[in-house]
Structure 1
Amino acid sequence: MKILNVSITVRDLAKAVRFYRDVLLLPVETTPAGAEVAVGSSRLTLRAGDRFDGVHHLAFGILPSEFELAHAWLARRVSLLQADGSEVILGSEEWKSRSLYFLGPEGIILEFIARDADASTVPGTDECPHMLSISEVGIGVDDVLDTVAALSDELAIPGYYDRSSTFASMGSHDGLLIIVQQDRLWFPTKVSKPARGPLTVQIEPRAEKSRVDLSSNISIVSG
């Protein structure tokens, strides 16, 4: 499952644009409605909006062969978050991944994740890491299991390796929806709750039904 576009709102659009363009060195195009950030094969749409509770979470996929490069490159630009005293955070045996976490505009929790499944992809020759796509989108909901059932039944999104009443992952290694209970704290901060602000996730076409609204603010669009 590939994530084509993620749309969120930010209070300070100009500041967010500067971060993605000048800190992460991603291509950014300003539009009359906001800005479009190119993250590999995905797009991050930023629009000006009012303040909301909580923060969003996005993970950008990178190549395993460029993980050390990404670590050094990011450490020169942002303060990396730690878990158990380490900036490098290992995924479970099923996930087979390594991650680097850091904060972006307005507290958004961003992540570089390198998955073993991408080991065969040829690295580039740039001095900065190659971002493959938006690999994960975090979504806070009132009922995780009901949400999983709705996305499975209506959009044919498969489960991944995790499913409980507080946390579930859906999709595939190159595109995951991380569904969490609304009051669950985002790892690794242990202080930030999922955003209650507007969020639209567009995934590649999967089923006849093209849209599921998880709340008044959150929608998953297929196609």
Structure 2
Amino acid sequence: MHLKEVSLLATEIELLYEFYIKLLGFPSLYKSSEFISLKIGSSILNFSLNNNEKHLYHFAIEIPINLLEKSALWLQKKGLNLVKPSGKSTIIVHHEVWNAYSIYFYDVLGNLIEFIVRVDNNIFSDADHFGPDEIVRLSEVGTGVQDPVSSAEFLTKHFDVKIYDNGPQNKAFVCIGDSNGLLILSKTDRLWFPSSNLRAVKSKIIIDTEIGTLTLN
């Protein structure tokens, strides 16, 4: 499932512009006082202003397998602190079930961002450095729902999507899609790994994929 375009809510647009465009150098597709659109590899990421309540998400960005360590150095040179999982000696996380490796950091508003390499996708780069041009696409987007299992059942019944067999599935966590793109449904108030304080909240997400548009309110 290709996450062609993902639309999220945010309480501050200007701060996101300064972070993603000015600091990280992601290409800007459009910007106004109430909306920003970014190019994330072959995907588009949008943020719309909604300051009635706080909206925080977890999303992952796929990068080439051979650039994970270089991406960590790149982020650190930008002044960002990488999240080290509790009890771990390294910032690089090995997800054995998913056959993937990740690093994590927060954006300026507190969204939990993940750079992930998926070994099964076998994507490499000839570049000797990391930068926005080496990003592959949005790989995951997650939100909180009251009942992940029933939400997943609704989506698989009404849309041409499937539960991701290679991911952990339980009453608090269900993944929809495949290694090319995942919608992660987490039970509300569950901690997003590896954060010690960011919990899944119910926030609106619109995802445009090759099989249609998924909307979660």
Q: TM-score, normalised by structure 2?
A: 0.89
**What code does the residue aligned with 2:149 have?**
L
Q: Which residue of 1 aligns with 2:188?
A: 182
**What code does the residue aligned with 1:82 have?**
K
Matched, 1:4 2:22: no
Matched, 1:144 2:144: no
1:16-165 matches, cutoff 5 A: 16-32=16-32, 34-53=35-54, 55-77=56-78, 78-83=80-85, 84-85=87-88, 86-92=90-96, 94-124=97-127, 126-128=129-131, 130-160=134-164, 161=166, 162-165=168-171
How many Å separate the matches in 2 of 1:212 and 1:150?
Answer: 11
Following superposition, the deviation at residue 70 of structure 1 comes to 0.9
Tell me whether 114-123 or 72-81 shows the greater mean CA deviation. Answer: 114-123
How many Å separate the matches in 1 of 2:123 and 2:20?
Answer: 27
SS in structure 2 opposite 1:37? strand
- Aligned-pair identity in percent equals 24
Q: TM-score, normalised by structure 1?
A: 0.86
SS in structure 2 opposite 1:3? coil
Following superposition, the deviation at residue 150 of structure 1 comes to 0.9
How many residues end up aligned between the 2 structures?
210
Q: Which residue of 1 aligns with 2:202?
A: 196
How many Å separate the matches in 1 of 2:123 and 2:44?
Answer: 24
1:29–1:211: structure 2 CA closer, same or farther, 3 Å change rule? closer
How many Å separate the matches in 2 of 1:30 and 1:54?
Answer: 21
Structure 2: unaligned runs, 5 residues or longer: none
Whether contact under 8 Å (1:63, 1:123) holds in the other structure is no
Following superposition, the deviation at residue 145 of structure 1 comes to 0.7
Tell me whether 33-42 or 123-132 shows the greater mean CA deviation. Answer: 123-132
Whether contact under 8 Å (2:10, 2:55) holds in the other structure is no
Following superposition, the deviation at residue 195 of structure 1 comes to 3.1
How many Å separate the matches in 1 of 2:188 and 2:47?
Answer: 23
**What code does the residue aligned with 2:43 have?**
S
How many Å separate the matches in 2 of 1:39 and 1:213?
Answer: 20
1:212–1:30: structure 2 CA closer, same or farther, 3 Å change rule? closer
| Superposed CA RMSD | 1.9
Structure 1: unaligned runs, 5 residues or longer: 219-223
Following superposition, the deviation at residue 199 of structure 1 comes to 2.0
Q: Which residue of 2 aligns with 1:221?
A: none
1:16–1:30: structure 2 CA closer, same or farther, 3 Å change rule? same
Whether contact under 8 Å (1:10, 1:51) holds in the other structure is no
How many Å separate the matches in 2 of 1:54 and 1:34?
Answer: 15
How many Å separate the matches in 1 of 2:24 and 2:120?
Answer: 24
